[in-house]
Amino acid sequence: MLLPQTLARQLRVDRSGNPARRRSSIATAGHLVGAQILVGVASLAINAMAARTMGPAGRGNLALLLQITYVANMLAMAGTDRSYPATVARDRGPRQAVADMLRLVTPTAVVVVLATVPVVVALADDGALVAVAGFVATAAALVAVAMLRTGAAASAVVWPYLTAIVVGQLVLVGTAVALTAAGTTSPHTWLAFYGVALATGPVVAGVLLRRTDRSPAEVSHRVGVARRLGLRLVPAAVASMVMLRADRLMLPWLGSYEQLGLYIVVATVAEFAIWPVQSYVDARAPRWHQQHLAGELRRLRPLLGAAAYGTVAAIALVLVGHLLVAPVFGEAYRDSTVLLVPLAIGTACYSVSRIAIGLTVATGRARGALAADIPAMATALLAYLLLIPQHGALGAAVGSAIAYGVGAVLAVVFCRTPAAPRAVSDRQASTTPSYSSVRGHQ
């Protein structure tokens, strides 16, 4: 893997102290995908160690706690991870972009974390203090990583985000090895160490950013446009999160922790296939927006590319999953292989829907995301309620495939409905992108 060498090149600065040059949209997407590949490899290793150490029930308990942190992270971002790259001014550097994100996210993050603590206490039973500490640390680390990722997508300077990922994942894998060697079976302890380890990456990236980027972070920038568009995207983000996470949250309630443990090991692998699509969307959003303003946005080619990618990824998921599940996670997880086919179908459908929604949002139509994701969310909840009690993890997998299929169809239909380009005034242009560029472990 070339990430360490890439990171070294990214950290080079010119004589004025400015960080490495901006990347094209394709290069930015490639770096974001490369970072997620590293996260995926680390996640697979940590997933295997946790599964073998704690067993299906303990692994399911840890998965539930992590799902809560992911939901908290999504609510804390309040849609700004999608809206900011699509509205940022062309001259924002990485330090300035991160400063903007701090202004946008800090208030909601504090409120969301405090509001979620009672939920963690209720689920933790014994060891609530450790669980709460782990939740707060993990939620804060995830928000920090998300802000760095958004700043990378918006500024087309990716080294701060790469630094956070490389450092954080290396420390996280080392921590998991230590917990496995010690035979630690407490999900609360795993969560606490998870959060502390993951936080090392953003801390190191922040220190390096202050030392190498001499551009003033205090330069004024209107973030109101990003905040308003982000708030309009929140319902769609919640709906998308429900589709992605409700199966894991409902399995312990309608089934058992053991069923969640069986489900999570293959659902995690399925999510890896989705990450490159979202990275591509984030990196291309500003370019799509500019093409829309110029009346040059073409939708068919990205949609066909998403369909082709989703098909290949689905086939690979089924083949690789059958080969690796039992050897990697243990014989106790062999029954998880029956979940691969519906999860693969869902992966293909979800890939298409993300491209379609990304194209729609780039035209400024938040309602497109709502029109696709909210009906898909309702379909998912209904399917889970009907299928999980009788079929357990298989019901969750089939329900997610149905929901993703509904979302893909609706997203494509709405995306193919053209929107007229709107003129942008000089004042609005200061918050419109014109450069060419823009979820972790289970």
Among the residue ranges 72-86, 134-148, 380-394, the one predicted with the least confidence is 72-86
Q: Residue 150 domain-assigned? A: yes
Query: How far is Cα 315 from Cα 336, in angstroms, rounded to an integer?
Result: 17
CA 117 to each of CA 128, 137, 140: distance values in angstroms, whole numbers, following the listed order: 10, 12, 13
Do both 118 and 259 map to the same domain? Answer: no
pLDDT over threshold 90, residue 220: no
Q: What is the pLDDT of residue 200?
A: 92
Do both 145 and 281 map to the same domain? Answer: no
pLDDT over threshold 60, residue 251: yes
CA 18 to each of CA 112, 114, 394: distance values in angstroms, whole numbers, following the listed order: 35, 37, 52
Domain termination site, one of 197, 222, 247: 222
Among the residue ranges 133-147, 203-217, 374-388, 398-412, the one predicted with the least confidence is 203-217
Length of the chain in terms of residues written = 442
Q: What is the tally of structural domains in the chain?
A: 2
Do both 218 and 241 map to the same domain? Answer: no
Average pLDDT for 62-78:
85
Domain termination site, one of 194, 222, 250: 222
Residue 26 binned pLDDT confidence (cut-offs 50, 70, 90):
low
Do both 306 and 406 map to the same domain? Answer: yes
For 123-182, write each residue's pLDDT tens digit.
877 777 888 998 999 999 999 998 888 888 777 778 888 888 999 999 999 999 999 999
Longest dimension (CA), the chain: 65
Do both 100 and 213 map to the same domain? Answer: yes
Do both 214 and 118 map to the same domain? Answer: yes
105 versus 82: which is more confidently predicted? 105
Q: Residue 227 domain-assigned? A: no
Query: How far is Cα 168 from Cα 7, in angstroms, rounded to an integer?
Result: 14
Q: Residue 124 domain-assigned? A: yes
Q: Residue 426 domain-assigned? A: no
Do both 59 and 178 map to the same domain? Answer: yes
Helix, strand, coil % over all residues of the chain, rounded to 5: 80, 0, 20
Of 226, 201, 194, the residue nearest 146 (C-alpha): 201
Do both 130 and 203 map to the same domain? Answer: yes
Do both 369 and 280 map to the same domain? Answer: yes
Question: Do residues 433 and 291 touch, judged by C-beta distance below 8 A?
Answer: no
Average pLDDT for 395-399:
93
Domain termination site, one of 222, 246, 261: 222
Question: Do residues 292 and 359 touch, judged by C-beta distance below 8 A?
Answer: no
Tokens coding 66: 């992590």
Do both 204 and 244 map to the same domain? Answer: no
For the chain, percent of residues with pLDDT exceeding 70: 82
pLDDT over threshold 90, residue 276: no
Q: Range of 364's domain? A: 237-417
Q: Which of 91-95, 358-362, 431-435 has the highest mean pLDDT?
A: 358-362
Query: How far is Cα 414 from Cα 24, in angstroms, rounded to an integer?
Result: 28
3-state DSSP call for residue 12? coil
Q: What is the pLDDT of residue 427?
A: 34
For 411-423, write each residue's pLDDT tens digit.
998 887 655 444 3
User: What is the identity of the amino acid at 406?
Assistant: V
Residue 86 binned pLDDT confidence (cut-offs 50, 70, 90):
low
Query: How far is Cα 354 from Cα 291, in angstroms, rounded to an integer?
Result: 19
Average pLDDT for 228-248:
75
By CB atoms closer than 10 A (0-12, 13-18, 19+), residue 337 is middle
Q: Residue 300 domain-assigned? A: yes
Question: Do residues 46 and 66 touch, judged by C-beta distance below 8 A?
Answer: no
Tokens coding 79: 């849609």
Q: Residue 243 domain-assigned? A: yes
Do both 118 and 256 map to the same domain? Answer: no
pLDDT over threshold 90, residue 343: yes
Q: Residue 128 domain-assigned? A: yes
Q: Which of 41-50, 255-264, 382-391 has the highest mean pLDDT?
A: 382-391
Residue 397 binned pLDDT confidence (cut-offs 50, 70, 90):
very high
Do both 191 and 331 map to the same domain? Answer: no
Average pLDDT for 385-408:
92
